[in-house]
Chain A
């Protein structure tokens, strides 16, 4: 409890634009405004086909509601600041970047290869250095999962370097 209060005091001492509540609120509002602008590009249904309200009205109302509530949490946070969150460690950014690598590899090379690469990369970054376990999580287990999904669910995985070899 004391720790939380200390973290809150630490947050209050920061300039407003460095505080989490400001940055989070700003991001939510900016995204909501962008989406709100997008709703104005939705097609308008002619009155004869329109049932109830226009398709854009409901999302518009939701976005306005989100903006208003975000302003409210920011206002409340000025009185009762959020606690400062600890800095994220290197392992988090490595895991996050592995997601990006996964998207790129699955799009350009191969779905299986992407899973395999991510599994080995994450396991290694989290401290696993033993080759057997790296092979277990990166190759043996994905193969089992692949075969299981293929045979039980009759699933066909997207084409790629390795999957093409497997299917041919």
Chain B
């Protein structure tokens, strides 16, 4: 995820302090990975340097000074460009799983067991996400659904590969076990 663009987008509704930005980010997008303060301030410094935000005011506090950031015209254009640009679909052509399966076949280990172990792990995570989805709000449901659909795609691939292990073993010169 582009943290810079996300923080810029959050600033479009009005100027905020770094702390407010972190809180808004964590609340909306940081379910599993809240931002570190360091990330927020490093990102804001970069955006400032690139002219995408400006400091609207500085308030003295007990700790360090609190800068209030506002998005610039260039920042709005940047967010606009990011939002309208399609994300590049991930082709997943370098799959660790595929490599492991081929190596298992080449070294005489059980590729079928490897597939089953992976399958169990995928399903364990899917069950966990399904529970979280069941108990969560709409945001949780959509975030979990995104992950669940991807895990499901992996599982379909695992199933297909399990059905083709013999063929694959022949193709790579290994042994299916």
Interaction A to B: no
Query: B residues near A, CB below 8 A?
Result: none
